[in-house]
Structure 1
Amino acid sequence: MANSIYRASILQSYSQLLFQPCLSNKHCVPKKTNLLCFASSQLNPARSEVSFCIGTHLIPHPNKVERGGEDAFFVSNFKGGVIAVADGVSGWAEQNVDPSLFSKELMANASSLVGNLEVNYDPQILIRKAHAATCSKGSATAIVAMLERNGTMKVASVGDCGLRVIRKGQIIFSTTPQEHYFDCPYQLSSELVGQTYLDAVVSSVELVEGDTIVMGSDGLFDNVFDGEIVSKLAAHSDVVEAGIG
């Protein structure tokens, strides 16, 4: 399993993915290293709009570096911004199936469908359509967050990928993992036994100036406690710097 991360802030939010806000008319250049992802959103004083400015950092499991790990993610500047992470379920390797193929195709489909009229900028519907379009054998957990220009962030999650919203050094919102039992999360699958978009946990968060968003796979949240994440972010004013190390 790889770790994926995003972070973003609002002025203007960390599989890992980390975000912090940028003026909506400013473009930030993503920085890629090995699964951390970072992003930021910022309030535009003249237009009262927010958007994400995003960079990424991916850390594959040491035994899976050659394949780039089993996580996948995408980011989009559509409307206020869209961020998403999928974590391929490693158990498929026992059946000689590459676990990364499903998660990568799922995220590629989600990226291509983000502006689809039927999606209507709804993360749950985006998961439905991306899942339906995925033909690879396998399964994955997934989380999608969509930011409205007014600062409302809509989130849909199936499984144990996660998201935290940090405000003034405190976590004010976090997603809840979905598991059948220990180490068996809810998952979107090529098989009928898997979950669907109807099983997604859907939530909405109002972001304010200075908020930071941390999004990632369970590889992040299983290995880095929330307090450690908050401390790491507090030591850096730049979201990209905060995800390195």
Structure 2
Amino acid sequence: MAWNTLTCAALARNASRRLHHRALSTHPNPRPYTFHIGASWAGKPNEPHQRPKVPWPADGLIGSWRDRTLARPNRTTTSKDAGEDFFFIQEMRNQSILEGVSFGVADGVGGWVDSGVDPSLFSQALMYHSHRYSRNAWAGEPEIDPTLDYEEREQIEGWEMTPYECLDLAYGGVLREKFVQAGSSTACIISLNASSGLLRSANLGDSGFLIIRSSAVHYRQRAQTHFFNCPKQLTKLPANSGRRFSRACIDSPSEADVFETKLRDGDIVIAYTDGLSDNVFPSEMVTICSLVARAGGTEEEQVQAIADRIVEYARQCMKNKNRVSPFERDAARQGMFFRGGKPDDVTVVVAIVHETS
């Protein structure tokens, strides 16, 4: 399907509710940066997601949070299922003052299906615990008392936390979840500071993010893999697994790549699972952002239109066997043959940065 400015404008006009993270203007010291956030997702095309044998209870903490998260506006599919992917978006406050926003994406590793494990349970739990820790933190410099253990730290109102610490804490939360008997997932977690405009990130595996500045890719997070199509991943093995999973990849949060940079007015941050990066080139993401900006609309409308259009385009590319994909090129570098797009779940979270002073 060809994209044009009319299509862009229609998407922007029809975007309904938008999540808009903004410092309160009534505060005597308003934060100089605001962030407009959009998210979009779609399960793997033509392959219905295998539901968990025992799904999260709808009235439980994770089940109800999952359903609220998937109730966000999403124009890319009539299904509310993100497949084996998941994400979170969480404001970070110091008491009542909005200090920033934290968000992330995770991709449950599908190889567990053959063992009777639903990979989505791990990624959903990982993102839930990332949200849980982020809501009691703000995106400032780390000032955590090292003498306290993780559970004690959680009780301190407004303690400061980096994405790496968030990833470490969230992984510990998954390991304690009795409902998640086994599984593994990649993860990318980002925090944006409303006071300084500082972006911090922690990435493990082949999910990732990029920063677009002045219609060009300013930074792109590299993927972490053990070998081709085998990403680094956080893992939970079944109890009493013995030698059955002796070859499983078990990576630590300490192996995550960490990064930080100062953002500028107009920067666009796109976090994604590999369903996007395996099918869409960074230059194509830049083009979509430029077309949406050219169509106009509020920043809230634009950020959601960018997220929706990127996911829609990724789904088109997955089905196209006559187009060279990033995954096809990567396979060729390894001496392997693969043609066209790679069907997969795809999830993106997009942030537009606005500097007010």
SS of the counterpart of 1:81?
strand
The aligned amino acid for 1:60 is G
* TM-score with structure 2 setting the length: 0.55
- Structure 2 equivalent of residue 89 of structure 1: 109
Distance 2:50 2:184 in 1: 20
**What is the deviation of 1:223?**
0.5
Q: 1:143 aligns with which of 185, 188, 198?
A: 188
Distance 1:59 1:147 in 2: 25
* Shift in alpha-carbon separation, 1:99–1:105, aligned structure 2, 3 A: same
Identity of aligned residues (%): 30
Q: 2:48 aligns with which of 42, 64, 87?
A: 64
**What is the deviation of 1:54?**
1.9
Distance 2:213 2:19 in 1: 11
* CA deviation vs aligned residue, 1:75-98 (integer Å, no higher than 9, x gap): 011121001001000000011100
**What is the deviation of 1:66?**
6.7
Tell me, yes or no, if structure 1 residue 175 matches structure 2 residue 221: yes
- Structure 2 equivalent of residue 239 of structure 1: 303
* Shift in alpha-carbon separation, 1:193–1:179, aligned structure 2, 3 A: closer
- Structure 2 equivalent of residue 112 of structure 1: 132
The aligned amino acid for 2:30 is R
Q: Which has the larger displacement, 134-143 or 66-75?
A: 66-75
Q: Which has the larger displacement, 141-150 or 54-63?
A: 54-63
Cα pair 2:23 2:31 within 8 Å, conserved: no
* CA deviation vs aligned residue, 1:183-213 (integer Å, no higher than 9, x gap): 1100001038511110000000110000001
Cα pair 1:52 1:77 within 8 Å, conserved: no
Q: 1:49 aligns with which of 25, 32, 39?
A: 32
Which protein has the bigger helix share? 2
* Shift in alpha-carbon separation, 1:208–1:143, aligned structure 2, 3 A: same
Cα pair 1:20 1:213 within 8 Å, conserved: no
Distance 2:222 2:48 in 1: 27
Distance 1:77 1:83 in 2: 9
The aligned amino acid for 2:89 is V
Cα pair 1:51 1:147 within 8 Å, conserved: no
- Structure 1 equivalent of residue 318 of structure 2: none
* CA deviation vs aligned residue, 1:192-239 (integer Å, no higher than 9, x gap): 851111000000011000000111001111101111100001001212
Tell me, yes or no, if structure 1 residue 225 matches structure 2 residue 281: yes
Cα pair 2:24 2:30 within 8 Å, conserved: no
Q: From the CA coordinates, give the structure whose radius of gyration is larger.
A: 2
SS of the counterpart of 1:133?
helix
Distance 1:202 1:95 in 2: 32
CA RMSD of aligned residues (A): 2.4
Distance 1:206 1:125 in 2: 20
How many residue pairs get aligned? The number is 209
Cα pair 1:159 1:186 within 8 Å, conserved: yes
* TM-score with structure 1 setting the length: 0.79
- Structure 2 equivalent of residue 157 of structure 1: 203
- Gaps in structure 2 of 5+ consecutive residues: 1-17, 52-80, 93-98, 138-143, 145-152, 154-158, 238-247, 294-301, 313-357
Cα pair 2:37 2:303 within 8 Å, conserved: no
